[in-house]
A and B are shown apart, each in its own frame.
Chain A
Amino acid sequence: MVEAILSGLGGLTAGAQMLFVDWRNAIMIVVGFVLLYLGIKKDCEPLLLVPIGFGCILVNIPLSDVMSNDGFIRVIYDAGIATELFPLLIFVGIGAMTDFGPLLAQPSTFLLGAAGQFGIFITLLLALALGFPQLDAVAIGIIGACDGPTAIYVASKYAPHLLGAVSVAAYSYMSLVPVIQPPIMRFLTTKEERMTVMKPVARPVSRTTKLMFPLVITILGGLIAPKGLPLLGTIMLGNLMRESGVVSRLTKASENEIANVVTLFLGLCIGATMVGSAFIKAQTLIVLALGFIAICLDTVCGVLMGKLMRVVTRGKINPLIGAAGISAFPMAARVVQREGAKWNKKSYLLMHAMGANAGGQVGSVIAAAVMLSVLAGMGIIR
């Protein structure tokens, strides 16, 4: 009987003993607490960082079986991440939430949305130069889309072992956009450029145009880059529902209930991929560093495109709005407005920046779609 009691007690202390055997689990539990701290105390993307942090803690408790074959997070992971369903459902919600009106009022801002994606491809080159395999480099580059669901979609499909690092990088840097972008914007522009006052967006957009937008973009995008059709189709479906105004129940469900439930599951699953033995590697730090470079490069290319458009329009464009050509919506647009107002109180850049920012939303999806279609064309993916 004593032996049975000792065995029973051994079962109670096995987890704690294992914590001292593999120090990486203990470190990752601390990382989980840091993510929770950032989400709860610093309000950095709390909707994601709280479930990610908790998932990270759950999976790193020694002998935890939440990610074993029949563990509850594994079941959610297999159903929603492995099948790429969760990012797509999130995209329906994003489409339902986003007003593309400012973009449609100034279609030229699509180009700023394109420039804001260049960081993806330059980072891909850097990752290749650092010796990452080709599909890993693609997953790392996609952090530059500044778009969580797109990054998760691509990483889960082509480099699932990098999913945790790529997702954490994408969401962390998105929340740090107000810190990352302003110094780059100031460095690349002159005081005169920053002080430029842009005329208000006067052109109203008809309902017909707003209704045609998701349909035209889906068909055009699908014809050019069919591999990205799930991404493009879901975001445009959400937007069509929003603009049609006849399915408000579905629109509200997409932007609230569905998006909330999926965000919870998504965050938990991402956190659960951050197992100490797989996450604590030099490779993870390199991925995080490359992700940071990607978002800096997006800002650089966006501002440079803004400068080019300023030259073409003979000084009518404030190049700061180029920094909003990324997918962090509407945070990047607000950063541009704040920065512009700092240099000229008469400058009101918000609506122009919102156009560029909405262009960045479409641009990130198109960049991923183009990337996947080019990969398929080269025979690297099916």
Chain B
Amino acid sequence: MDNFTFGMTMLICGMGGTLLTLWIMSLVMGLLGKLFPEKPADKGE
């Protein structure tokens, strides 16, 4: 594989993949935060 193809693939898939993965993680963690909100009992723990 030539360097240009390699570099562009890494840029698009790598940068895009990182952004997409972290975006999905932020959505999931946001959802979990809503599903499991802190209850008064949690404060004592």
Instruction: State the A residues within 8 Å of B (CB).
Output: 103-105, 107-111, 113-115, 117-118, 120-122, 124-125, 128-129, 134, 137-138, 203-209, 212-213, 216-217, 220-221, 224-225, 359, 362-363, 366-367, 370-371, 373-375, 377-378, 380
Contact = CB atoms under 8 A, between A and B. Distances in A.
Interface string B7-43: 1011101110111011111111110110011110011
B15 to A, nearest CB: 5
Contacts of B45: 207
Contacts of B10: 121, 124-125, 138, 371, 374-375
B7 A114 contact: no
A209 B7 contact: no
A114 B18 contact: yes
Nearest to A373: B17
A212 B32 contact: yes
User: Would you list the 4 A-B pairs with minimal beta carbon distance, nearest first?
Assistant: A110-B26, A208-B36, A370-B17, A107-B26
A113 B6 contact: no
17 contacts: A103-B29, A110-B23, A110-B25, A111-B26, A117-B15, A121-B14, A121-B15, A124-B7, A125-B11, A128-B3, A206-B36, A207-B45, A209-B29, A212-B32, A221-B25, A366-B22, A378-B9
A107 B34 CA distance: 11
B18 to A, nearest CB: 5
Interface residues of B, number: 33
B36 A216 contact: no
Contacts of A120: 14
Contacts of A208: 32, 36, 42
A107 B6 contact: no
B38 A378 contact: no
A221 B23 CA distance: 12
A100 to B, nearest CB: 9
Contact of B30 (A107, A117, A138, A221): A107
A326 to B, nearest CB: 13
Contacts of B11: 121-122, 124-125
A110 B22 CA distance: 6
Contacts of A121: 10-11, 14-15
Given A367-B14, A378-B1, A220 B22 contact: no
Contacts of A377: 13
